Amino acid sequence: MSSLLERIEERLESSSSPRVRAELLGEKACYLARGGERDAAKALVQDMRAEWGSAHIPDAMVWIMLAEGLIYYFSSSPRESWDRIVRAQHLSASLALPRLAVLTSAWMAHLEFGRSNYLEMRRHLRNVFDGDWRTHDDAALRAFLVLGDGSLNAGLNELARQSYEVAHRLAVRTGDRLALAAIMYNRAVHGFNSLMANGIVDACPPSREQLTRFALELESARHFEALIGASAFAQALDLTRGRYLLAVGEVVEASLIFRRLRLNQLPSPVAEMVSAYEVVCKVRIGDKEAARMGLEAYLSQVPSSLDVDDFLLVNSAYAEVACELGLTREAEILSAAVEKSKSIYSEIRSELITVLNDFPVCDLGCS
């Protein structure tokens, strides 16, 4: 299977049309951004601006904005990412650019899913499926990835399987190795996150069999990422590996992973998760003084920037620590935070299920 990047390079060598070249370079910049190659993607965008910044090629400007949005997104700068991709979407719609209209809508659905804004996610997905998505595999692939992630998050495992199957078929057809890696990553990382969060909300801790299944998914994702030389998912995969080891009682090994992660420059949400689970490791190992200091640091920090499910998981972890340390007041505060998070999580999960019911994957993905 020739890769998407190879196909882009081959077409660039044989094309002299400014509009076609703008599209191909924009697609390449987006691919590099998705793979974590931020500097290469930035350099390509700068070249595009130099060549077409003042030219009347509307496609070029939309591709530039979309690529910049993805560079910011995969650099953990959500505000800047949002600004660029919203602009790209509005411009592609106003200029009636079919491919970019559905592609930017698919990415907006992706962003809204990450913000737990499921009604807006539905609106953008409708823009995709009401548009020219069947002739634009990149937009369709992204939309089905969103449906798969959403279904996994809601605990709708069969719907997630169907959505990922369609996304996988499209990724193979286009040679998009990064999308194949993203499918494996999402099944492992989002799936594990959903398993743990739903276990807290439903008072049904995951079984050893369920944990083992996600461990296998995780190893597959790690091996494939290494095979294709991608780096965008490494930290989240390591974090999930540490959380799995902690869940099955391999506390010392989990602690080593969290310690290695802490030595890196981490995005704020990942850093918060690492700190929480490292404190859990300390209390389980018996280093109660270090655990107490970690708990105090968490309780004294500014309000968290975590998503609802991650906030639920982190508060639950610290509540365990407070109970183990016999800190009654702190345990009560954190337990109340967990209960509030459970209520919010249940509400948005119900909303997500309602939204997902609007998109029958079997019908949409049949062709």
Residue 1 — pLDDT band, cuts 50, 70, 90?
A: very low
Residue 231 — pLDDT band, cuts 50, 70, 90?
A: low
- Given a cut of 50, is residue 335 above it in pLDDT? yes
Domains of the chain: 1-96 (1.25.40), 97-364 (1.25.40.10)
Mean pLDDT over 66-95 rounds to: 92
pTM (two decimals): 0.90
pLDDT digits (tens, 9 = 90+) for 60-78: 999 999 999 999 998 878 8
pLDDT at residue 226 in the model: 75
pLDDT digits (tens, 9 = 90+) for 127-175: 999 988 889 999 999 999 999 999 999 989 899 999 999 999 999 999 9
pLDDT at residue 136 in the model: 93
pLDDT at residue 120 in the model: 96
Query: HEC states along the chain?
Result: CCCHHHHHHHHHHHCCCHHHHHHHHHHHHHHHHHCCCHHHHHHHHHHHHHHHCCCCCHHHHHHHHHHHHHHHHCCCCHHHHHHHHHHHHHHHHHCCCHHHHHHHHHHHHHHHHHCCCHHHHHHHHHHHHCCCHHHCHHHHHHHHHHHHHHHHHCCCHHHHHHHHHHHHHHHHHHCCHHHHHHHHHHHHHHHHHHHHHHHHHCCCCCCHHHHHHHHHHHHHHHHHHHHHCCCCCHHHHHHHHHHHHHHCCCHHHHHHHHHHHHCCCCCHHHHHHHHHHHHHHHHHHCCHHHHHHHHHHHHHCCCCCCCHHHHHHHHHHHHHHHHHHCCHHHHHHHHHHHHHHHHHHHHHHHHHHHHHCCCCHHHHCCC
pLDDT at residue 30 in the model: 96
Residue 12 — pLDDT band, cuts 50, 70, 90?
A: very high
pLDDT digits (tens, 9 = 90+) for 267-293: 888 889 999 999 999 999 999 999 999
